[in-house]
Amino acid sequence: MAVDGPMVFLNGGAARRVMRARDPREKHRAATSLELLFDLCFVVAVSQASQSLHEAVTSGHYMAGTLAYAIVFFSVWWAWMNFTWFASAYDPDDTPYRLAVFVQITGSLILAAGVRRAFDGTDLTVITWGYVVMRTALAALWLRAARADPDRRRTTLRFALGVAACQIGWVALLFLPDGMRLPGIAVLVVAEIAVPVWAQSAGMTPWHPRHIAERYELFTLIVLGESVASATGAVRTAFDEHRGTGQLGAVAAGGLLMVFAMWWLYFARPAHTLLATTHRAAGRRFLWAYGHYLIFASAAAVGAGLAVNADRVSHRAEVPAVAAGALVAVPAAVFLVTVWALHLRPHHRRPAESVPFLLAAALILLTVFSPAPALATGAVLAALAVVVTVQGGRAGAD
């Protein structure tokens, strides 16, 4: 186990300059305070993405806003996820490592500063350079791991090469004509996703199931918290202006039910037990890791949807009822289906256990046509949480 404890602090990191691979069977492995700081700073970028989606929809830019949100959130999630898996494999917690993480945090804040310009579609410069700063620092960490871990040198060098090549592509994208940027983004997204698959075809890096599960759980809490914050801000503004207070109560109540139920469903089963059983199944591991993009993005989008509904019922924005309802119902349904597919279905012993999830997702989509879509969606999710709890109790009794 590559942890020397107090020696790092006594010698300023000089006692250990080798980035050895962590033991995937290490006991009591938990998220570090540096990882928690990393997550906390990424909240800024998540918040900017959610707020920008809210503003795009209230301005009538439904499709363009959704597309911009998907791209921006990808950059946030991808940088977070890649560092998370790297830290599960290599985390010496010495001075060079900490400084490299600080550089990545700085990049996330630069990226957050450029989110609004990216949503306008006129200036991708700031968000691109923020992303490049984050990813270049990670490439440097992969080079350090290559030097210290000869058994996995091919894998780590592939990671460093792939990440660096993609960053060159993102910078080059800034010089393309506007009409070529969207296809260029699509190509680079595919290239980014392919890097871990290509790199680990040369050999797997070690990772700790309980540590990875905890890191994903913590980020889920962050995006759920962002949903609460977005909705609270919109509802507070409307109350301050004394607009639509009766209908706002339904939006607020629905938002609380949604967040409570989403938390309940995600944490209904421990993820680390599932990951432990798929430790040697690379395909299922990639599916679980990559699929969380939909969980995180949809959870944060729910906050934007609640804010849009608050603006609509308080007459602060002219948004069609169906559009406002869809911005709540669609992300909630995506969250539900993805959590079921990745997190819960593998634990089911009978196909019938999946029926309530699919039925609930269909009902949630129908709430688009409800006069109070947020409250109706929250009620459906809360009812599903009750069903899941009862099923879990019966399974435990069996």
What residue has token string 């992969």?
142
- Look at domain 209-397 and name its CATH class: mainly alpha
One pLDDT digit (tens) per residue for the chain, 398 residues: 333 433 333 344 444 457 888 877 888 888 999 999 999 999 899 999 999 999 999 988 999 899 999 999 999 999 999 999 999 999 999 999 999 999 999 999 999 999 988 887 668 899 999 999 999 999 999 999 999 999 999 999 999 999 999 999 999 999 999 889 899 999 999 999 999 999 999 988 988 888 999 999 999 999 998 888 877 776 777 666 666 567 888 888 899 899 999 999 999 887 777 776 655 566 677 888 899 999 999 999 999 999 999 888 888 888 999 999 999 999 999 999 999 998 887 776 777 788 999 999 999 999 999 999 999 999 999 999 999 898 766 554 44
Domain regions of the chain by residue span: 31-200, 209-397
